[in-house]
Structure 1
Amino acid sequence: MFKTSIFKDEHDSESLRERFHGSDSLPLKVSVKAAARMIKIYWTSKESLFSWFILALIIGLTSGAIYLAKVFNTWYKDFWDTVQQYNLEGFKYQLMLFAILATIHVIVSVYNSYLRSVLAIRWRRFFTTRVMKDYLESDTYYKMQLEDRKTENPDQRISEDLSSFVSYTISLLLGTASDLAMLGTFGVVLWDLSHAVTMEVFGYSLHLPNGYMLYLGIIYALVGTLITFKIGKPLVRLNFRQQRFEADFRFSLIRVRENAESISLYKGHSSEERYLGYSFSEVVKNYIKLIKREKRLGFFTLGYAQTAVIFPILIAAPMYFAKIITIGSIMQINSAFGRVQDSLSTVISSFSSWANYKAVVDRLALFFDSMDSSNEIKCLKPKFSGNRFKVDNLSLFTPQSKKLCSNLNLELASDSSLLIRGPSGCGKSTFIKAIAGIWPHAQGDITLPENKNSLFLSQRPYLPQGSLRDAIYYPSEARSDGLAEKYLEQLSLSHLIKDLDKVDNYSSMLSLGEQQRIAIIRALILKPGMLFLDEASSALDEDLEKRAYTMIRDELNNSLIISVGHRSSLINMHDYILNAQLDMNWTLNKNHSLS
């Protein structure tokens, strides 16, 4: 299983989960550990074998780029020395050499970038597929919605954060490795260029030891990194919040689109505008804080970078004016110092990216931990045995531990029909969820007839993306067997026959009554051995409801049918009546008036 908890292996895992779950940021140690686990998942899998080959090519090209940078460093000295000597032939030769080196550099850089993109999409495909699988199986998505209110916008974490994690990991880790290699290469060059020397500066004797350029570069970068860390540390929390606020605002807009009809009927545009305005104001307020902090960081990092341009020339100038080195040597020192400085200053130059990366890691780590903890929630699972439907000592509870039903016992034949009636809030729908095996707050035993498949129809049916035919046959594969057309006509939906194979957003196009009839047609076509209807005909008029239930009883006469409904007209459509009460006193009666 992919699901992994970032706290599971910790000594005090429960208190850590309670402390950090839903927070804006995790401790750096926890973030590093979480990132390492996420990286390991792909790179230890069989799917990564070809990616290792791609990674080897990237490392080879990066090594070539570093070698080219060293060659360019030598070229700078030779070129400027040629210019200083007024050597026209040498000048032409150096230009030709530059053209060759530049062409090779372009080819290496382009293929390096291309292979990194190939690696990223392979990794993201594996990562996203695995996460979606674990998110959907074992009803994890449902349990998270039911029990975890702190893990917001799982859709964004799967669609955006996974992609960001992959791209940041490749760019930052490979970039850091490249910087370290560059540091080693040009650290040696800079050491060789800065021999011990004693010179007069403003009348004072100054002694510089071997490798003084490298020492100064390290000190310069270390001071800059510490200051950058202090200025930029709040960016991690601000980036985390910005992603959350952006996702909340986008989700609110989606909600308006999905509920457009209801909002329009309620004339609720003012209320929606207020809520959207509040949601967007959170985006704006946090973004202003973010850009102010980035402004402060930008002043320092850009000033630091500009100073780094002139700094090596300033410290090399006394030797030049003392005629110890040439102008070409100054250019070579400047180039080598710049490479070393860039390598040492990788944290400074990419601090915002590292801050974004940590925010992404934290969001994914908390999301995966939520998936893992949700998967640990155990629901009462029905057993399959014999040819009877049995409930033994069943007790139902709300998530707040309020008891809905106490020690219920009942038994029905596999071809019976049962209507569950009672006041709102007494637990009728919860009973259906317990039978479906998706309710964690239940005790007792439920036994369903073996070798019988089940189908659950809710008050608001689910119509998947695709054509109307796809929706009717869902979750099976659509067929052109004439059944859809037959039942559409019998349930007064003949006007939809012409659109059967048209792809559209039918969940918003069709009325609730039309959607419920589509779901009933789905049951008639799939012919489940057990059919559960939770207010599945509430939007139909009594004549249509009677017609629908008559068709169900006639065509599913060997199926177990359990309905939840308030209308008294449903009584004559069922063999048994289960009267649910708010006082937990549920009673089963046989329907003697069944016609």
Structure 2
Amino acid sequence: MSQQHIPLKLTASRFVRAIRLFMTSDVGGRAKFLLFALVALFGGISVLNVVNSFVGRHFMTAIAERQTAEFIRQAILYTMAFAASTVASVIARFSEERLALLWREFLTRRAVGLYMTGGTFYRVGVRGKLTNPDQRIADDINAFTVTTLSFVLMLLNSVLTVLTFSGVLWVISPLLLIAAVVYAASGSYLTIVLGRPLISLSYDQLDREAAFRSGLIRVRENAESIMLGAGEQRHANLLLRRLDELATNFRRIIVINRNVGFFTTGYNWMTQIIPILIIAPAFIRGDMEFGVVTQSAAAFAMLVGAFSFIVSQFKSISNFAVVVARLSSLIEAMEEAAEPTETDLQVVEADGNLAYEGLTLTSPSGHALVKDLSAIFPADTRVVVVGGDDGGATALFRITAGLGPSGVGRIIRPARDQLRFLAQRTQLAPGTLRQILVPVQQQSEASDDQILALLKRLGFVRALTVDDLDKECDWSSLLSPREQQIMAIAEVLSAGPRYVLLENADVIFGHELLRVVLELLAEREIACINFADTDTSREAYDAVLECHADGSWRWISRGEQSVDQ
């Protein structure tokens, strides 16, 4: 692969593990039943195909010899055999789709669970180990389950066809059987040689398609900013460049498909003439009846088709190899992201106050943002952390949330449900306003009037009715950034954690609204820490932590002497 190199052995082991996990899961019983039904149905279809070949043989012989009674009898048998094959094929297809959907649901739920646990979704993107994980979860898992099951069943059908029609061809002519095996083996080898580059090209194509689509999504999500900043041409150039990349790669795929197509099309046409060339002389000599000629052609085509699985399905196989590799890289990236990184920074969750012990933070360039910070933030207090121009306060906010730069020392913080982080830019979760504003366990306690009164006190000027609280909309696109921030702090006030950490709250709310927010937090005994990179009004806070440009710091409590470091 040009962008990802996935060891074959590791990919195969993950492939086998995915099947084993599915079969031993809670839905494994249903899966085994459907798989057993499919095996039985395909076995029945294979037997019916053999029956059809002999019925067809006698049917064609009756026509050639003008035997009306035999013709009618064989026509009835032919119709009954085709009807039985139709029923079995339709039920098999239904069972295959149900099993594929069951498998996709299981794998997707498992992938989403791993992706959304412990910040894996964040670390996968930050570490740059993987491109377009969303596409791999949504599209590749679907393709993996459907294609894997399809290939397994095609292989099963091919094996059954080989077992049944090898005997038919051997009875007709051993030479015909040998010709079928040699012809299929040669065709499979040449198809692999001609089409092997498709695997890497298809891998790249999926990434290029995803990059182009993500560019379009970015334009849609940032339409207002692009319009105001007159950035249309720059984004258009980026989109066209990505379009050129995917078109160039796809042209290479088309060339390979053309070469493979020349060979496979000719290969498939030849399967119709080879058995006739071998059997026709015997018919001409009168050694066999006419029905044997048509039977041998059909049986030869069935057997060669079974042996030529690679030839007939090479494009699908190459795409499948790409999907398996991409899913393997997804699992690898998520497993890496889930593993704790080696760091000298220790984060401890414990009952008690938020505290830092000997914490030193450095920027990517190696500049010290904070040196040897040791401070305790008491419960039910309001503290402002004032940073220098180098962003020390923001770095401290991010490292506390588990997102920040490298550092050494110790962070002691309450359990996650007792701690809230409100960044300068927030994103509302999907759902109704009631679900966004009030935790599930408290929804029975919060009345509609209380919710609306809280929003009004926070300065939410948009007119809302009781009906709006239970209306499910894309509120992140309907509300302005400021309104979304008000919703976020309203949710904090409703949930009542022990601590809320704000990033540049003055910028978010403005001085007047921030004063109201601090009063509401004090009423609910929620400790508030505002990490502000710019100097801000300090009167409303119980203490100030100053972070200086050289990494030193100073703690100043109201009415007390400062503590310097």
**Shorter-chain TM-score category?**
over 0.9
**CA offset at residue 84 of structure 1?**
1.3
SS of 2:464's partner is helix
Identify if the C-alpha distance between structure 1 residues 104 and 398 changes in structure 2 by more than 3 Å, giving closer, same or farther: farther
Decide whether the 8 Å contact of 2:394 with 2:532 is kept in 1: no
Identify if the C-alpha distance between structure 1 residues 123 and 108 changes in structure 2 by more than 3 Å, giving closer, same or farther: same
What are the Cα deviations for residues 178-227 of structure 1, in whole angstroms up to 9, with x where unaligned?
Answer: 10121111111111111xxxxxxxxxxxxxxxx21111111101111111
**CA offset at residue 423 of structure 1?**
2.6
**Residue 514 (str. 1) matches residue 477 (str. 2):** no
Decide whether the 8 Å contact of 2:162 with 2:303 is kept in 1: yes
Decide whether the 8 Å contact of 1:420 with 1:563 is kept in 2: yes
What is the aligned partner in structure 2 of residue 252 from structure 1?
Answer: 215
RMSD, aligned α-carbons: 2.3
**Residue 348 (str. 1) matches residue 315 (str. 2):** no
- Aligned equivalents of 1:495, 1:121: Cα separation in 2: 44
Matched residue count: 555
Decide whether the 8 Å contact of 1:397 with 1:441 is kept in 2: yes
Decide whether the 8 Å contact of 1:417 with 1:574 is kept in 2: yes
Q: Give the aligned residue type for 1:358.
A: A
What are the Cα deviations for residues 138-185 of structure 1, in whole angstroms up to 9, with x where unaligned?
Answer: 1111111222x1401110011010011000100012211210121111
Q: 1:406 aligns with which of 371, 374, 389?
A: 371
**CA offset at residue 533 of structure 1?**
0.8
What is the aligned partner in structure 1 of residue 554 from structure 2?
Answer: 587
- Aligned equivalents of 1:384, 1:369: Cα separation in 2: 28
Q: Give the aligned residue type for 2:508.
A: A
Identify if the C-alpha distance between structure 1 residues 60 and 551 changes in structure 2 by more than 3 Å, giving closer, same or farther: same
**Residue 234 (str. 1) matches residue 197 (str. 2):** yes
What is the aligned partner in structure 1 of residue 302 from structure 2?
Answer: 339
Q: Give the aligned residue type for 2:332.
A: D
Q: What TM-score comes out, normalization by structure 1 length?
A: 0.88
- Aligned equivalents of 2:265, 2:458: Cα separation in 1: 71
What is the aligned partner in structure 2 of residue 13 from structure 1?
Answer: none
SS of 1:383's partner is strand
**Residue 419 (str. 1) matches residue 384 (str. 2):** yes
Q: What TM-score comes out, normalization by structure 2 length?
A: 0.93
- Aligned equivalents of 1:346, 1:432: Cα separation in 2: 58
- Aligned equivalents of 1:426, 1:397: Cα separation in 2: 11
What is the aligned partner in structure 2 of residue 8 from structure 1?
Answer: none
**Residue 455 (str. 1) matches residue 435 (str. 2):** no
Question: Structure 1 vs Structure 2: percent identity of aligned residues?
Answer: 28
**CA offset at residue 108 of structure 1?**
0.3
Structure 2: 5+ residue runs without aligned partners?
Answer: none
Q: Give the aligned residue type for 1:32.
A: A
SS of 2:268's partner is helix
Decide whether the 8 Å contact of 2:387 with 2:394 is kept in 1: no
**CA offset at residue 412 of structure 1?**
3.1
- Aligned equivalents of 1:382, 1:548: Cα separation in 2: 28
SS of 1:447's partner is strand
Decide whether the 8 Å contact of 2:202 with 2:319 is kept in 1: yes
Q: 1:50 aligns with which of 1, 25, 30?
A: 30
**CA offset at residue 25 of structure 1?**
5.2
- Aligned equivalents of 2:133, 2:520: Cα separation in 1: 40
What is the aligned partner in structure 1 of residue 393 from structure 2?
Answer: 428
Decide whether the 8 Å contact of 2:492 with 2:500 is kept in 1: yes
Decide whether the 8 Å contact of 1:488 with 1:497 is kept in 2: no
Identify if the C-alpha distance between structure 1 residues 286 and 339 changes in structure 2 by more than 3 Å, giving closer, same or farther: same
What is the aligned partner in structure 1 of residue 543 from structure 2?
Answer: 576
What is the aligned partner in structure 1 of residue 249 from structure 2?
Answer: 286
**CA offset at residue 561 of structure 1?**
1.5
What are the Cα deviations for residues 359-405 of structure 1, in whole angstroms up to 9, with x where unaligned?
Answer: 00000101100111111134756434464332111122446765432
Larger mean Cα displacement after TM superposition, 312-321 or 403-412: 403-412
- Aligned equivalents of 1:475, 1:454: Cα separation in 2: 17
Decide whether the 8 Å contact of 1:382 with 1:436 is kept in 2: no
**Residue 544 (str. 1) matches residue 513 (str. 2):** yes
Identify if the C-alpha distance between structure 1 residues 450 and 98 changes in structure 2 by more than 3 Å, giving closer, same or farther: closer
Structure 1: 5+ residue runs without aligned partners?
Answer: 1-19, 195-210
**Residue 500 (str. 1) matches residue 479 (str. 2):** no
**Residue 526 (str. 1) matches residue 475 (str. 2):** no
What is the aligned partner in structure 2 of residue 165 from structure 1?
Answer: 144
What is the aligned partner in structure 2 of residue 115 from structure 1?
Answer: 95
**CA offset at residue 258 of structure 1?**
1.4
**CA offset at residue 547 of structure 1?**
2.4
What is the aligned partner in structure 2 of residue 361 from structure 1?
Answer: 324
